[in-house]
Chain A
Amino acid sequence: EVQLVQSGAAVKKPGATVKISCKVSGYTLTDYFTHWVRQAPGKGLEWMGLLDHQDGETIYAEKFHGRVTITADTSADIVYMEMASLRSEDTAVYFCATLSTSWTSDYWGQGTLVTVSS
């Protein structure tokens, strides 16, 4: 059974950095890309970026370029998303998900709430 299990909720102050983990099981990381999508309270889904596990390439949405880093520990089957210079507008639920060759997300993590507040 494919599962993506994310780390728990986090509360951060403005300017801080958050790192969220996504532990995958039931498949090999190289079977899919992993991408990150966020959802601010009451808002829609927003694509952040992806990691191609085959060659380690990362692609980021222009909005997040330079502030978001997606990495993986392939030995432990964990994918990480780190966001720096947090601001209140980054308060959101962050999802990791698989991304297939048809650019489709069959499997999602449960989401991680990040609250940015002074």
Chain B
Amino acid sequence: QSALTQPASVSGSPGQSITISCTGTSSDIGTYNLVSWYQQHPGKAPKLMIYEVTQRPSGVSNRFSGSKSGNTASLTISGLQAEDEADYYCCSYAGSSTVIFGGGTKLTVL
């Protein structure tokens, strides 16, 4: 099963908003509202930012939001800050007790 498709990189200036897309298929994102997003800084473990498409864990800034349309999920970060610079990965349940990740997107804050 191929990875979910994410743009390799996105960038934005402090204060701006950016959106990272994550495209799957009708077998994963299109069928299940079980998309999560992770932030990963270099040398660190991933950190959960969004789960069940739109839900934010306690402690995660409300500048992070998620959405889904058809086979594509999106992560939006508003009011970009320098500390948001990291790699971001989407993840979806893919049926039969399996999980699939996206290829990752490097966010650069200019």
Contacts and interface: CB of A to CB of B under 8 A. Distances in A.
Contact of A106 (B40, B48, B91): B48
A44 B100 CA distance: 11
Contacts of B40: 45
B45 A35 contact: no
B27 to A, nearest CB: 13
**Interface residue tally of chain A, by bracket?**
20 to 34
Contacts of B1: 61-62
Contact of B51 (A50, A102, A111): A102
Contact of A104 (B3, B48, B104): B48
A99 B98 CA distance: 11
Interface in A82-109: 95, 97, 99, 102-106, 108-109
B52 A102 contact: yes
A47 B99 contact: yes
B102 interface: yes
Contact of A108 (B46, B91, B93, B97): B46
A59 B101 contact: no
Contacts of A102: 34, 36, 51-52
